[in-house]
Amino acid sequence: MDKNVSKNRTKNVLRNICISTVILFLGIIMIFKSFKVEQGSQNLLYSYNISRNVNYKVNLIENEFFENQTMEMNKTYISSLVDKINMDFTYSLYGNKKADTKYIYQVVAVSTVKYASSTSDSEEPIWSKQYVIVEPKTIETKESNFSIKENFDVDFATYNAEVKNFKDKLRLPVVADLQIKLIVRSDMNVSGVEDTVVESSIMNLKMDLAQDVFAIEKQFDNADSQAVYETTETSKDINKTMLVIGSLLVLIAIMIILDSIRKSIKFGKKSDYAIALNRILKNYGDIVAEIVSPVEIDSLNVIDVKNFDQLLDIEEEIRMPILFYETIPDQQGEFIIVCDSVAYRYVIG
């Protein structure tokens, strides 16, 4: 077999595999694109902004240390000198459209005592008590916004004394705090919005109890924004033409790949035949004659030999040429020596 022919066939197989890979890739892309999916969109139905603010002043008992018995915000305060804390809570909600709104709010104070032993990591309170400072109020409005403004006094001295009494009588290592909370819940029925919009908010100020000094910590954000959207469902549409073409391309690509694999296997078998044939022709080309038509052996006594070496031994004895004819192109051939009425034959492939 000619080496150039073998190389060309190998190149053809590789080329076919490359082409089929491209076709397969295009077919898969077309199949995926045939399933057109439109993502749902979001439409704004209602939005609102919340504003929160607090101001307070700390009132001291009469004492010889401070001439002014009122201290401003964001200071450190001596617990034993504090009497009451005047607080001013403001909460506002602004919607982008009118709504039938029902809101409920109240102000509470919560004293919490926790065990402070070094051997305990528990965060659970061992004692807690809630006091209502502003009774729950329910208000309804049909406007787009509403505001809550409450001014009240927190009797810090009483709460502090109560916790100190708890600590002294039980002789327990504890830490305690007082939290002042404005709790607001709003139920808003908005035109165009199917479900009731519920907004819950807590404005919290926290301070230590039963300590020599304390500060007041704000535990809420001054501003917040929320929105309600209507999300349309995703839709799917199949492009049947593109799906069919893509499927055909995938099928064609698979057929080409399978055919290329088949040919590769076939060429592999041929190359074994070609190697053996080329080896014989190269080494014994001077005594082997390649013929283009088969030897008529119907009237001859045919003797098949096991290998080419036996045929060489016969050639040396009778001094007759070895004839070669390729019975199946690139796959099978036969070497024959004809002497009188006998044909010695070796089949390769």
pLDDT, averaged across the chain: 88
Query: DSSP H helical segments within the chain, as ranges?
Result: 3-34, 156-170, 240-284, 308-318
Query: What whole-number distance in Å separates Cα of residue 224 and Cα of residue 221?
Result: 7
User: What does the DSSP assignment read for 177-237?
Assistant: EEEEEEEEEEEEEETT-SSPEEEEEEEEEEEEESSSEEEEEE-S-SEEEEEEEEEPPPEEE
- Residues 310-318 have a mean pLDDT of 88
Confidence of residue 47 (pLDDT cuts 50, 70, 90): very high
Phi, psi of 320 (to 5 degrees): -115, 145
Match 């309804």 to its residue by tokens.
140
Dihedral sign of CA atoms 324, 327, 331, 336 in order: negative
- Residue at 130: amino acid letter: Q
Reduce the DSSP state of residue 2 to 3 states and report it: coil
pLDDT digits (tens, 9 = 90+) for 150-203: 999 999 999 999 999 999 999 888 999 999 999 999 999 999 898 999 999 999
Residue 7 banded pLDDT, cuts 50, 70, 90? low
Q: What is the pTM of this model?
A: 0.58
State how far the Cα of 70 lies from the Cα of 83, in Å rounded to an integer: 10
d(CA 163, CA 128): 10
- CA separation for the pair 110, 202 (Å, rounded): 13
Question: What local confidence, expressed as pLDDT, does residue 37 receive?
Answer: 65
Phi, psi of 72 (to 5 degrees): -80, 180
Tell me which amino acid residue 136 is.
P
pLDDT higher than 90, residue 266: no
Distance CA 111, CA 163 (A): 8
Question: What pLDDT does residue 244 have?
Answer: 85
Phi, psi (deg, nearest 5) at residue 328: -125, 115
Tokens 């397969």 locate to 24
Tokens of 43: 């439409």
Question: How confident is the model at residue 6, as a pLDDT?
Answer: 57
What are all long-range contacts of 298-304, with beta carbons under 8 Å and residues at least 24 apart? 299/341, 300/338, 300/341, 300/342, 300/343, 301/341, 301/342, 301/343, 302/343, 302/345, 303/342, 303/343, 303/344, 303/345, 304/345, 304/346, 304/347
**Contacts of 130-137 spanning 24+ positions with Cβ under 8 A:** 131/159, 132/106, 132/107, 132/108, 133/107, 133/108, 133/109, 133/180, 134/105, 134/106, 134/107, 135/106, 136/104, 136/105, 136/106, 137/104, 137/105, 137/106
Q: Is the pLDDT of residue 49 over 90?
A: yes
What band does 260 get if pLDDT is binned at 50, 70 and 90?
confident
- What would the pLDDT profile of 68-79 be if each residue is shown by its tens digit? 999 999 999 999
Whether residue 142 contacts residue 95, with contact meaning beta carbons closer than 8 Å, is answered with no
Q: SS3 letters for 24-36?
A: HHHHHHHHHHHEE
Residue 1 has pLDDT above 50, yes or no: no
> Of 212, 168, 187, which is closest to residue 80 (Cα–Cα)?
212
Q: Give dist(CA 223, CA 188) in Å, integer.
A: 19
Average pLDDT over residues 211-218: 96
The terminus-to-terminus CA distance of the chain in angstroms comes to 12
pLDDT of residue 2: 46
- The residues that bridge with 230 in the sheet, in sequence order, are 43
pLDDT attached to residue 4:
55
Helices 3-34 and 240-284, packing angle to 10 deg: 170
Average pLDDT over residues 217-227: 95
